[in-house]
């Protein structure tokens, strides 16, 4: 129900995918210097709308605003829509910060974050594999006992561990396992050219 309601009925996921296609076609993130006005406007508007939309639920979560369950459910869908704005705003802000960092020269921290970006699918799946059994009720069930602050500390620690793992793979000259699998599946058919810089994957016998 959550996947259907938040992902499809709110149109947030399809719209996010479409915006990603458009941004890639215009090379907005690859060439931020040519789109500074657009990125600054998207960051300012998107983050402002996202924070305003998430404020009621944040106040309820922290106990500042007493809210019954029915009202909280009603605020979930507007929160998803404004969350899309906030996501776009954060992407724009990250592009602006990355442009500034690149101009000054990248250090070890920026290099580690860049390594994580190259292995974003592996990092996402690794975090999901850890979070699901640790936090969910069918696993250790720690999600029911962590507060907002301890949950934030857990998420930050897990993200830092993911970054460290991706940086180690970068130093070893290895791609993320999920990226390797995705490329093998994408280029497994006979006659399909391999991606630039990759060794061609031999056809599967009997395919």
Tens-digit pLDDT profile for residues 98-120? 888 877 776 788 889 889 989 99
Contact 186, 204 (CB under 8 A): no
Show the tokens assigned to 62: 């922290």
Range 25-31 average pLDDT: 91
36-61 helix and 69-104 helix, angle to the nearest 10 degrees: 140
| Domain annotation covers residue 128 | no
Residue 70: domain span:
1-105
Contact 126, 160 (CB under 8 A): no
| Domain annotation covers residue 129 | no
| Domain annotation covers residue 190 | no
pLDDT interval class at 21 (50, 70, 90):
very high
| Domain annotation covers residue 11 | yes
Q: Residue written as tokens 């490329």?
A: 183
| Domain annotation covers residue 38 | yes
| Domain annotation covers residue 17 | yes
Contact 151, 97 (CB under 8 A): no
Contact 54, 79 (CB under 8 A): yes
Contact 28, 38 (CB under 8 A): yes
- Per DSSP, 4 falls in state I
pLDDT interval class at 57 (50, 70, 90):
confident
The DSSP line for 71-117 is: HHHHHHHHHHHHHHHHHHHHHHHHHHHHHHHHHH---HHHHHHHHHH
Task: Give residue 109's pLDDT.
Answer: 84
- Per DSSP, 65 falls in state S
Domain tally, the chain = 1
| Domain annotation covers residue 64 | yes
| Domain annotation covers residue 118 | no
């Amino acid at each position: 129900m959550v996947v259907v309601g938040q992902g499809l009925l709110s149109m947030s996921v399809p719209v996010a995918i479409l915006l990603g296609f458009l941004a890639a076609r215009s090379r907005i993130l690859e060439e931020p210097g040519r789109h500074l006005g657009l990125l600054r406007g998207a960051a300012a508007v998107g983050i402002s709308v996202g924070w305003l939309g998430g404020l009621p639920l944040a106040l309820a979560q922290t106990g500042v605003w007493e809210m019954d369950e029915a009202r909280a459910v009603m605020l979930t869908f507007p929160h998803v829509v404004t969350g899309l704005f906030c996501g776009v705003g954060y992407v724009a802000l990250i592009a602006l910060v990355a442009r500034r960092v690149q101009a000054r020269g990248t250090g070890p921290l920026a290099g580690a974050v860049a390594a994580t970006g190259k292995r974003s699918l592996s990092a996402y799946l690794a975090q999901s594999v850890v979070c699901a059994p640790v936090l969910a009720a069918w696993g250790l069930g720690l999600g029911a006992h962590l507060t907002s602050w301890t949950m934030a500390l857990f998420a930050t620690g897990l993200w830092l561990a993911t970054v460290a793992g991706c940086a180690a793979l970068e130093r070893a000259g290895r791609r993320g396992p999920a990226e390797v699998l995705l490329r093998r599946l994408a280029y497994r058919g006979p006659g399909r050219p391999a991606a630039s810089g990759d060794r061609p994957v031999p056809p599967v016998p009997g395919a």
